[in-house]
């Protein structure tokens, strides 16, 4: 049953299985295991970014396509939901049609980019996607009457998904059962479903053909596969999944702006997560997103503790000062690439083999 749920793609490593189960249990019971607003925010971000990173891995790891427009699709999904909720009111109908509209627009953009650009060489396609994404970000920032410009959009979501709604009056295991908890589990189960759908896609005949196209496009075309069609389809699927992840972020934050969805920093973060976890394996998205977001959230606090503990040693306390957390995050990334060139998942599977 479990093998069927995972589409036959088992972790194939005991340690990897333990890590994935630990992440799954931690996210499933995060409100009860790690009480507190910051912990819940972190868990929700991990869920959303697992979907976003996995969707990019579908493009980069399985199709061999380097794109810098992934945050554009992420933003389209977020703005689709945000605009629907802000114009039509905080109803489930608005939430539904906004999410579907965002996914549809992302698919249309991805189809246009794929049909017009995938026939060129990889570096030129990457440059085209970078130009399109940059132009879209500028367009969103300037359309302030519609998108709120640089300030973004604040909006209401259905009351059942807000902290004001209380499902039960008494706490359960010390946790208040309110709309915020329901919103978290909406994000968690939606993310889990989308991840399993992508796992099914990459382990289908379509996914195996994508790998063949990635490994040798000329050979795949010579034996009759339409390489451009497969790459375009992968681009569209990846864009739709990224847009759905953006919709989840819009529901969770109740705010959408260029800084939270369209910035180049997010695109770089996605690329780092894919590389750290391991390209060409969706399980890498789980580990990469989890480790990276935990480091982003808690590394500065840990360095503050380390700085206090080593305050008597001037040089060491200066090196581990909290304001240098980005430096150490970069060092950790360099070390992970050096010791895990095929990513964490690739290294664990190679060790198992």
Q: How many CB atoms lie within 10 A of CB 160?
A: 15
Strand, coil or helix: 244: helix
Domain with residue 224: its CATH number is 1.10.3470
- Give me the number of domains the chain comprises: 1
pTM of the entire structure? 0.94
Neighbours of 36 (CB within 10 A): 9
Distances (CA, A) of 131 to 117, 281, 344: 12, 28, 32
212 token code pair: 């063949």
3-state secondary structure of 166: strand
Domain extent for 216: 2-352
* Per-position pLDDT tens, the chain of length 353: 667 778 777 888 889 999 999 999 999 999 999 988 899 999 999 999 999 999 999 999 998 888 999 999 999 999 999 999 999 999 999 999 999 999 999 999 999 988 877 666 667 888 888 999 999 999 999 998 999 999 999 999 999 999 888 888 777 777 888 899 999 999 999 999 999 999 999 999 999 999 998 888 888 888 888 888 899 999 999 999 999 999 999 999 999 999 999 999 999 999 999 999 999 889 999 999 999 999 889 888 888 888 788 877 777 777 888 778 778 888 888 888 788 888 899 888 886 55
């Amino acid at each position: 049953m479990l093998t069927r749920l995972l589409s036959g793609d088992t972790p194939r490593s005991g340690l990897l299985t333990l890590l994935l189960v630990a992440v799954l249990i931690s996210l499933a019971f995060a409100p009860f295991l790690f009480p507190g607003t910051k912990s819940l925010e972190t868990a929700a971000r991990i869920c959303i970014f697992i979907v976003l990173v996995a969707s990019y891995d579908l493009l980069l790891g399985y199709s061999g396509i380097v794109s810098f427009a992934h945050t554009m699709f992420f933003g389209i999904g977020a703005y689709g939901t945000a605009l629907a909720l802000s114009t039509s009111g905080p109803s489930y109908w608005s939430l539904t049609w906004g999410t579907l509209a965002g996914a549809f627009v992302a698919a249309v953009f991805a189809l246009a980019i794929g049909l017009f650009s995938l026939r060129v060489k990889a570096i030129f396609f990457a440059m085209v996607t970078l130009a399109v994404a940059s132009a879209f970000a500028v367009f969103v920032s300037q359309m302030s009457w519609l998108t709120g410009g640089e300030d973004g959009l604040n909006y209401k979501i259905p009351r059942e998904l807000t902290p004001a709604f209380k499902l039960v009056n008494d706490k359960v295991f010390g946790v208040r059962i309110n709309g915020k908890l329901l919103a978290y589990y909406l994000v968690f189960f939606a993310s889990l479903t989308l991840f399993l759908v992508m796992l099914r896609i990459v382990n289908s005949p379509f996914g195996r053909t994508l790998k063949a196209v990635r490994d040798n496009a000329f050979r795949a075309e010579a034996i009759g596969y339409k390489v451009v069609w497969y790459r375009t389809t992968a681009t569209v699927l990846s864009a739709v999944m990224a847009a759905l992840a953006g919709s989840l972020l819009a529901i969770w934050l109740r705010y959408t702006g260029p800084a939270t969805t369209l910035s180049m920093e997010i695109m770089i973060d996605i690329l780092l997560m894919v590389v750290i976890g391991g390209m060409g394996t969706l399980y890498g998205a789980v580990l990469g997103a989890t480790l990276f977001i935990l480091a982003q959230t808690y590394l500065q606090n840990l360095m503050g503790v380390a700085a206090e503990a080593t305050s008597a040693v001037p040089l060491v306390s200066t090196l581990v000062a909290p304001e240098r957390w980005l430096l150490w995050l970069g060092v950790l990334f360099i070390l992970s690439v050096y010791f895990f060139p095929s990513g964490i998942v690739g290294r664990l599977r190679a060790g198992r083999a």
